[in-house]
C-alpha cells in the first residue's frame, strides 16, 4: 500500500507548479507548506501531523521482500558512514537497521566525522532540548560539507516526521542532503541514490501509519544483548506526547517472525534480549485473525533457550492478567518491570489522557507484587505538566514512596507543537518546575541508594558486558534487575553470566568480587569452577 502511495505521489509531484518567486518574497513567518512545495521535488508526500492523527482501519501489510538495487549494492565500497543516535531504544535499534543496510551497500562504520562519506542524525522529538541538540549538530556539520561537497548528510527519525522541522531544515540548512522519516528506513539505498544524483534536497517522509518491513539487515551493537522490536507505533495519544504522530499506529509483528528472530539470536550466542515497543504490552491487540497477546508472546519467549528476556516499555493500561501470569512463571523472564506512571495525581493523569487513575495504577502494582513478590519497579515521571498544583505534585511524591520505585527517568514537561497540551494555558513558572524536579530526584536517589544497600554481602548473577568505562582493569555488567555491577576479573568472562559477591553499594551501582573462578583452557573453551 505504501509503495502504491509513493508511486501515486510521485506521479502527482510532476504535475504541480508553484509560484517560486512570490513564495520566496514572503518572510519565513508567513510561509505555508505550499510555499515550500517546490523544495519537495523528490518528496512523495510532505509530512503532516493532522493526517498522522487519523487512524485508518486499513490492513497493515508485512513486507518480506527487502532488496538493495543492483546499482547500489557496492556503492559504499571504500567509503565510511557515521550514525549519531538521539533518544530512546527504538531509535537505537532503528540505527542498527540503518547501519545494517549501509554495510550491505559496502560502507564501513567510522566514529570520526571527518572520515565519513555518509552522516545520518537519527533524531528524537520527545522534548525540545533533544531537538535543539540536533539543530546544533546540523549547524556544526556545515563547515565539513563545504570542505567535502560529496558528503551526504541525512536527518532521520522522529524530528523528520514533523512538518515544521522539515520546513526549517529546507529553509535554513542547505547542507542537509536527505531527510527521511521513521516509516522510510527500508528505502535508504534508493534515498542515498537520489541524494547522490539529485541537485535538490531529498525528502521522503510518509505520514501514513506504516507497514511492517521484515528481513531488514541489522548491524547490532555488540554480541551479548540485542533489541527485538515486537510492535511499532502508538495509539494512546497522551496529550503531551508527539510519538503517536511520529511513529504511526500500533502494529504488531507476527509472532512467528519474532520467535524466529529470537531463536536466531540465541543460536548466535546472545545472552539477553529486550522486546521493544512504544507500548510493548499492547502487542497483539491489532491482530484480527489470532488471539495472541503480549502474555502469549512472553510464554513463547520463555521456551527459547536464551538466558534473559526483558521488555520496554509497558503501558499500565494494557498490563493484563495474561501478561502478569506469564511473568510470574519466571524462567528467563526477568522480574524488573519499568512501568511509566507519569504522575501520581488522578486529575493530572486525566488531563494527560493516560486513561488510568492513581488508584488503578496502585492496584496494578499490588497485583504485580502479589504474583511476582520480588518484582522491582522503575518508572517515568513528568513534573510541571500545565497547571500542576503543589498538592498534585505532592501526590506524585507520595506515590513514588508508596510504590518504592528503585529508579526513575524524570522530566520537566516540554510543550510539543501539535499536541493538545501545547495549547493548554500553563501557570506553573519554570523555577517551580525545576524545584519540583530537584525534590523528586532527591527522593528517587534516596530510594535507589536504599535498594542498593540490600545487596551488600549477597551473591548475585551478573551478565558481564565489558570493561568499565572509567577503569579498563575493572569489568562491568548488569544484574537481572538491571543494576550495574563493577568488579575485577579476567576479560575472558565478557559475555558470560557469572556470580559476584557485592562488597559495596553506591547510589546507582554496586561494587563486588567475582565468585565464579574462570580458568582458560584454550582460546575458545572455558571451565567454571
Ligand atoms: N510509551 C511509554 C509510556 O507511555 O509509558 C513511554 C514512551 S516515551 C517515548 C518516554 C517518556 O518520555 C515518557 O514516558 C514520558 O515520561 C516522557 N515524555 C514524553 N513526552 C514528553 C514531553 N512532552 N515532555 C516531557 N517528557 C515527555
Ligand atoms: Fe507517548 Fe503516551 Fe504513546 Fe507513551 S503511550 S508513546 S507517552 S502517547
CA of 241 to the centre of ligand 2 (A): 6
- pLDDT band at residue 52 under the 50/70/90 scheme: low
Angstrom distance (rounded) from CA 358 to CA 430: 25
Q: What is the mean pLDDT of residues 424-436?
A: 97
Give the model confidence (pLDDT) of 86-106 as tens digits.
999 999 999 999 999 999 999
Decide: helix, strand or coil at residue 284. coil
Q: What is the mean pLDDT of residues 163-182?
A: 93
CA of 238 to the centre of ligand 2 (A): 6
Q: How far is CA 277 from CA 149, 232, 274, 311, 319, in A?
A: 38, 6, 10, 8, 14
pLDDT at residue 32 tops 80: no
pLDDT at residue 486 tops 60: yes
pLDDT cut 70: percent of the chain above it: 86
Q: What is the pLDDT of residue 14?
A: 29
- Of 124, 234, 361, 422, the one to substitute when testing ligand 2's pocket (max ligand atoms within 8 A of C-beta) is 234
Across 221-241, b (16+ Cβ under 10 Å) vs e yields eeebbbbbbbbbbbbbebbbb
Angstrom distance (rounded) from CA 233 to CA 253: 11
Is 241 a pocket residue for ligand 1 (Cβ < 6 Å)? yes
- Asked if 506 contacts 462 with a C-beta cutoff of 8 angstroms, the reply is no
Is 343 a pocket residue for ligand 1 (Cβ < 6 Å)? no
CA of 126 to the centre of ligand 1 (A): 7
- pLDDT band at residue 329 under the 50/70/90 scheme: very high
Q: What is the mean pLDDT of residues 122-131?
A: 92
Compute the C-alpha angle 343/448/368, nearest 5°.
60
CA of 39 to the centre of ligand 1 (A): 33
pLDDT at residue 489 tops 60: yes
Q: What is the pLDDT of residue 525?
A: 39
Is 245 a pocket residue for ligand 1 (Cβ < 6 Å)? no
Strand 376-383 relative to strand 152-157, pairing: unpaired
- Cα-flanking dihedrals φ and ψ of residue 501, to 5°? -90, 125
pLDDT at residue 188 tops 70: yes
Cell matching residue 146: 563545504
- Asked if 408 contacts 448 with a C-beta cutoff of 8 angstroms, the reply is no
For ligand 2, atom 1, the nearest C-alpha belongs to: 241
User: Is the overall model pTM greater than 0.85, yes or no?
Assistant: yes
For ligand 2, atom 2, the nearest C-alpha belongs to: 238
Cell matching residue 214: 521484515
- Asked if 106 contacts 73 with a C-beta cutoff of 8 angstroms, the reply is yes
Is 315 a pocket residue for ligand 1 (Cβ < 6 Å)? yes
- pLDDT band at residue 74 under the 50/70/90 scheme: very high
Angstrom distance (rounded) from CA 227 to CA 262: 10
Angstrom distance (rounded) from CA 251 to CA 426: 34
Amino acid at each position: 500500500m505504501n509503495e502504491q502511495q509513493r508511486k501515486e505521489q510521485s506521479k502527482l509531484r510532476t504535475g504541480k507548479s508553484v509560484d517560486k518567486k512570490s513564495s520566496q518574497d514572503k518572510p519565513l513567518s508567513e510561509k505555508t507548506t505550499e510555499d515550500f512545495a517546490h523544495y519537495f521535488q523528490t518528496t512523495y508526500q510532505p509530512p503532516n501531523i493532522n493526517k498522522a492523527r487519523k487512524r485508518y482501519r486499513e490492513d497493515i501489510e508485512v513486507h518480506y521482500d527487502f532488496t538493495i538495487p543492483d546499482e547500489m549494492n557496492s556503492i559504499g565500497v571504500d567509503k565510511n558512514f557515521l550514525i549519531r543516535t538521539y533518544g530512546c531504544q527504538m531509535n537505537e535499534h532503528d540505527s542498527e537497521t540503518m547501519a545494517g543496510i549501509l554495510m550491505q551497500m559496502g560502507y564501513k562504520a567510522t566514529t570520526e566525522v571527518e572520515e565519513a562519506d555518509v552522516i545520518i542524525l537519527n533524531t528524537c522529538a520527545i522534548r525540545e532540548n533533544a531537538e535543539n541538540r540536533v539543530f546544533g549538530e546540523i549547524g556544526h556539520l556545515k563547515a565539513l560539507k563545504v570542505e567535502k561537497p560529496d558528503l551526504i548528510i541525512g536527518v532521520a527519525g522522529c524530528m523528520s516526521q514533523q512538518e515544521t522541522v522539515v520546513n526549517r531544515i529546507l529553509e535554513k540548512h542547505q547542507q542537509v542532503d536527505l531527510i527521511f522519516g521513521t516509516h522510510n528506513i527500508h528505502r535508504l539505498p534508493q534515498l542515498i541514490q537520489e541524494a547522490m544524483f539529485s541537485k535538490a534536497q531529498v525528502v521522503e517522509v510518509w505520514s501514513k501509519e506504516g507497514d511492517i518491513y521484515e528481513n531488514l539487515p541489522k548491524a547490532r551493537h555488540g554480541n551479548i544483548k540485542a533489541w527485538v522490536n515486537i510492535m511499532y507505533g502508538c495509539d494512546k495519544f497522551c496529550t503531551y506526547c508527539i510519538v503517536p504522530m511520529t511513529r504511526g499506529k500500533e502494529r504488531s509483528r507476527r509472532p512467528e517472525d519474532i520467535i524466529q528472530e529470537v531463536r536466531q539470536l540465541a543460536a548466535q550466542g546472545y545472552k539477553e534480549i529486550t522486546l521493544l515497543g512504544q507500548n510493548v504490552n499492547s502487542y497483539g491487540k491489532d491482530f484480527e485473525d489470532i488471539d495472541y497477546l503480549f502474555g502469549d508472546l512472553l510464554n513463547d519467549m520463555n521456551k527459547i533457550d536464551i538466558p534473559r528476556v526483558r521488555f520496554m516499555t509497558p503501558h499500565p493500561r494494557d498490563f493484563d492478567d495474561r501478561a502478569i501470569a506469564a511473568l510470574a512463571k519466571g524462567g528467563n523472564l526477568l522480574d524488573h518491570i519499568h512501568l511509566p506512571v507519569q504522575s501520581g495525581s488522578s486529575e493530572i493523569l486525566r488531563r494527560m489522557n493516560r486513561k488510568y487513575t492513581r488508584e488503578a495504577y496502585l492496584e496494578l502494582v499490588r497485583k504485580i507484587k502479589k504474583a511476582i513478590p520480588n518484582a522491582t519497579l522503575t518508572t517515568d515521571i513528568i513534573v510541571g505538566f500545565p497547571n500542576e498544583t503543589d498538592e498534585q505534585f505532592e501526590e506524585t511524591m507520595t506515590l513514588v514512596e508508596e510504590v518504592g520505585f528503585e529508579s526513575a527517568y524524570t522530566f520537566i514537561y516540554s510543550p510539543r507543537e501539535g499536541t493538545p497540551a501545547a495549547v493548554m494555558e500553563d501557570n506553573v513558572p519554570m523555577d517551580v518546575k525545576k524545584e519540583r524536579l530537584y525534590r523528586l530526584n532527591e527522593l528517587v536517589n534516596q530510594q535507589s541508594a536504599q535498594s542498593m544497600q540490600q545487596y551488600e554481602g549477597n551473591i548475585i548473577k551478573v551478565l558481564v558486558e565489558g570493561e568499565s568505562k572509567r577503569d579498563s582493569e575493572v569489568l562491568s555488567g548488569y544484574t537481572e534487575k538491571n543494576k550495574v555491577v563493577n568488579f575485577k576479573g579476567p576479560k575472558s568472562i565478557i559475555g558470560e553470566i557469572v556470580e559476584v559477591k557485592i562488597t559495596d553499594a553506591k547510589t546507582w551501582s554496586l561494587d563486588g568480587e567475582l565468585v565464579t573462578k574462570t580458568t582458560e583452557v584454550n582460546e575458545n573453551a572455558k571451565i567454571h569452577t
